[in-house]
Structure 1
Amino acid sequence: MFNRNGRPWSHNAVRGVLLNERYAGLRQYRSELYRGKWPGIVDGATWRTAKHVLEDESRATSPGAGRR
């Protein structure tokens, strides 16, 4: 699968899409989520589950930005 520039998707781009509330038909205003006026391509429960998994601190596989 390729992005609009014909290049393969990076893992950061896929992560950004999965964390974006708009794909669940939601919008954010002042840190609150509201129903959007468009249909979501995933249901809200699936989006929240994916968001929870992706933002779980115990999944970190890198020790962080350490000194090189």
Structure 2
Amino acid sequence: PIVYFEPESISAKRYMMAASKLISMLENQGEVSNEAIQPIMPAGVSACSPEGQKIKAEHEAKKSGGCGSGCGCH
């Protein structure tokens, strides 16, 4: 659970913005599994970094059943 004591704090506003985006995504997509909304990046890894892009590509490949390179899995 997330607890904050100052509803007008930056942390509280960011949490509420993230929650609103998640709720909107769930409403737009209908029934979404818990797995689909879990983060895939390890702590400290930016999704925009080369390492983050590699993790994202590997995750997408697992979802699609391939390796994502188009020339066989390594």
Structure 1 length normalisation: TM-score?
A: 0.29
Greater RCO, CA 8 A, separation 6+: 1
Q: Which structure shows the bigger proportion of residues in helix conformation?
A: 2
Q: Which structure shows the bigger proportion of residues in strand conformation?
A: 1
Larger radius of gyration: 2
